[in-house]
Amino acid sequence: MARRVLHGIPVAAGVAIGRAYVLDRDWFARAAYHAIPPEAVPQEQARLRQAFASAAAELGRLLAAVPEDLREHAAMVQAHLLLVQDRKLQDQALAAVAEGINAEWALERTLAGVEATFAAVEDDYLRARMQDVRQAAERVLRILVGQAQVASMPQRGVLVAQDLSPADLVEIDFAKVLALATASGGKTSHVGILARSLQIPAVVGIEALDSALAGELVILDGFHGRLLVDPDEDELARATELAARFDEYQAVVLRSCHLPAETRDGFRVQALANIEFFEEVVAVRDLGAEGIGLYRTEYAFMNRATPPDEDELAEQYLDLASLMAPHKVVIRTLDVGADKLVPSLRQGRESNPALGLRAIRYCLRHRDLFRTQLRAILRASVVGNVQLLLPMISGIEELVEAKKFYHRVQQELAAQGIPFREDMPLGIMMEVPSAVMTADVLAQEVDFFSVGTNDLIQYTLGIDRTNKDVSPLYQPLHPAIVRSIKWIVDSGHQAGIEVCVCGELAADPFCVPLLLGMQVDSISLNPRSIPSIKRLVRQMTLEECDALLKQIMSSQSVASNNRLVREMIYRRFPEELLFSVSLLGEEGGTV
Ligand code: PEP
Ligand code: MG
């Protein structure tokens, strides 16, 4: 293939050179219909039976390989195994083959029939089960068309996919993934968040990414958002050198990661970690985090057939609290909805999911689930320093309602003689514009604020954070965003409560000086960015950050804000910039 450069959005730092491995989902198209003559029917049926058996064997192997500490993934694999072993699906497909239809099409037709039955069912939960049936059948279909498994990436390479969902994690062997390239995704979609926490260079939203790339030598440049196909000698040499310099830089940064994030003139900000999986806790400590500022608990509900129960959650939260003690662990209640789908929960289809029954709204609608989680968090509060965080609060009524329910759950525990910390700090995510506008009111009701800039930008600017077409409009330094954060911090401090910033903006070297200027109490970021951000803080002064903030607060456009910040950072920290990935993007972006 001829040399070419594909452009996308850089979301995780690093450079990788390797062969492209395309996660092919187009194989569906190859499952086309063809007629089977009567004499070939037994052979075709044998092929179908064999595919079911191979799928079961594959799932059996996967199940055995799920590590003990990821056992929540096992339940989903188990559910798929039961489905492919279930005779009903197979028998119906075999009967279709007997009518003279090829195995692939027979299976598709059977599936369509099951889907039609499910569609007529009123119950959202049962309808969601259809997803499991489809995924299990797709495995059989994939074997029929001769498509290899994702997990069997033959060697280390650059994984190229149209899309990658959190659920895909179960099958991908990340030890073999040198870098990630996807066609979909925006600046703060979850694939980027994941890539950063796994320290895998990544570019998302790549135009013209297709399966013709399979097997090609590529350079993925996670700093500049480029995928170079069939690079020349010079490009290979430059990429190798850049990768080596990045490794050196990281080693240097890592050595000082346990020093505090304190400016040269003595202003100290706490550097906390955002985590998605319990297993990240070890890395978090090694990377110099002073606590966990955001535990995205919804990930523990994904990839399993049934939600975890109270005992399982309490055990996990307790482990986390004791491993991190005396540091704090901020546990956010379920933030399901929008792009975070949890198959084991009842999530109906919504035409506008980011504005739908998401996060606290979902929990207030499904009180049993909310109660289970609150009880588990309360039970864990007797150890270390656990704090409770409610996502997506949009106004005082919603907050009061959530608190009322929380107090009822506290009373239930007390009546049962189960110990908990009565004054466990309770905070809210500030990520919806209506909450921002009423920050002074909300501050009276909580112990801390945590600013979720990923959603705050999405909702304030009206930009879907996962949509690459509007990605240039996703501007963290839009005056509306800077003013919003400043207002939240000031309102919090006025009321005597602490303010943390936990969106991706807190990991962006261009944005951190402004957060320091505002004197936020803590920042919470993906663990891998902690060492370099702490180092940056140690090289700055509060005085210069304050001066920059003053300039920004009186400026009126994204372009001038980006310019002011860039000038300061380029002048003062050229090295940090070479190796960082920023949300800023092009000057003053428009689509
Ligand atoms: C945010 O919205 O900034 C945030 C931290 O939460 P999430 O990315 O999980 O929505
Ligand atoms: Mg959010």
Residue ID of nearest Cα to ligand 1 atom 3 = 452
Q: Which residues contact 227 (CB under 8 A, 6 or more apart)?
A: 5, 6, 7, 8, 158, 181, 203, 206, 209, 218, 219, 220, 221
Kind of pairing, strands 226-229 and 217-221?
antiparallel
Distance of CA 338 from the midpoint of ligand 2 (Å): 10
The residue contributing the CA closest to ligand 1 atom 6 is 452
Q: Please give the distance, rounded to the nearest whole angstrom, from the Cα atom of residue 391 to the centre of ligand 2.
A: 7
Residues 286, 243, single domain; the answer is no
Question: Would strands 426-430 and 202-204 be described as parallel, antiparallel, or unpaired?
Answer: unpaired
CA-CA-CA-CA dihedral for 283, 289, 290, 291, to nearest 10: -60
Q: Which amino acid is at 558?
A: V
Q: How many domains, the chain?
A: 3
Shared domain check, 322 and 197: no
Residue where one domain finishes, among candidates 251, 277, 294: 251
Give the ligand whose atoms come closest to the C-alpha of residue 275: 1
* 288 and 324 fall within a common domain: yes
* CA of 335, closest atom in ligand 1: 9
- Ligand 1 center to residue 370 CA distance, Å? 19
The secondary element (H helix, E strand) that includes residue 505 is none
142 C-beta closer than 6 A to ligand 1: no
How far from chain centre, in Å, is Cα 4? Answer: 30
Tell whether 33 and 9 lie within a shared domain: no
Q: How many angstroms does the Cα of residue 501 sit away from the middle of ligand 2?
A: 11
Looking at the CA of 523, which ligand is closest? 1
Show which residues are catalytic.
190, 502
- Same domain flag for 227 and 355: no
| 502 CA closest ligand 1 atom index | 5
Please tell me the total number of residues recorded for the chain in this structure.
Answer: 591
CATH no. for residue 277? 3.20.20.60
Determine whether the shortest distance from the Cβ of 503 to ligand 1 is under 6 A.
Answer: yes
Whole-angstrom distance, CA of residue 93 vs CA of residue 98:
9
399 Cβ partners below 8 Å, 6+ apart? 390, 393, 428, 442, 445, 446
160: domain CATH number is 3.50.30.10
Provide CB contacts within 8 A for 84, sequence distance 6+: 52, 55, 56, 59, 90, 136, 137, 139, 140
- DSSP code for 333: P
Evaluate: CB of 335 within 6 angstroms of ligand 1. yes
Of 83, 117, 144, the position where a domain reaches its end is 144
My answer on whether 464 and 332 are in the same domain is: yes
Atom nearest to 294 CA in ligand 1: 5
Same domain, 225 and 277: no
Task: From the CA of 503, give the closest atom in ligand 1.
Answer: 3
The first and second tokens of residue 497, run together, are 């409560």
Q: What is the DSSP string of 106-163?
A: HHHHHHHHHHHHHHT---HHHHHHHHHHHHHHHHHHHHHTTPPPGGG-SSSEEEEES-
| Residue ranges making up the domain that contains 172 | 4-23+151-251
222 and 124 in one domain? no
Closest among 556, 439, 547, 417 to 486, alpha carbons compared: 439
Does residue 445 share a domain with residue 296? Answer: yes
* Domain boundary residue, one of 211, 236, 251: 251
Cβ partners under 8 Å of residue 287, min gap 6: 254, 257, 273, 527, 528, 530, 531
Tens place of pLDDT for every residue, the chain, 591 residues?
678 999 999 999 999 999 999 886 666 666 678 889 999 999 999 999 999 998 888 888 777 766 554 555 566 677 778 888 888 889 999 999 999 989 988 998 888 888 777 777 666 556 656 767 777 888 888 888 876 655 567 789 999 988 776 556 556 777 889 999 999 888 777 778 778 877 899 999 998 788 788 889 999 999 999 999 999 999 999 999 999 999 998 899 999 999 999 999 999 999 999 998 888 888 898 999 999 999 999 988 876 778 999 999 999 999 999 999 999 999 999 998 877 777 777 777 788 889 999 999 999 999 999 999 999 999 999 999 999 999 999 999 999 999 999 999 999 999 999 999 999 999 999 999 999 999 999 999 999 999 999 999 999 999 988 888 898 899 999 999 999 999 999 999 999 999 999 999 999 999 999 999 999 999 999 998 999 999 999 999 999 999 999 999 999 999 999 999 999 988 888 776 777 778 886 544 555
- Tell me which residue has its CA closest to atom 1 in ligand 1: 452
295 & 417 share domain: yes
What ligand has the least distance to the C-alpha of 196? 1
Give me ligand 2 centre to Cα 194, in Å: 15
Q: What is the CATH number of the domain that holds 87?
A: 1.10.274.10
With a 6 Å cutoff on the Cβ, whether 455 touches ligand 1 is: yes
The ligand 1 atom nearest the CA atom of 190:
8
* Ligand 2 center to 407 CA (angstroms): 24
Domain identity same for 246 and 348: no
For ligand 1, atom 4: residue with the closest CA: 452
Do 15 and 72 lie in one domain? The reply is no
C-alpha span between 191 and 161 (Å, rounded): 11
Q: Is 426 helix (H, G, I), strand (E, B) or coil?
A: strand
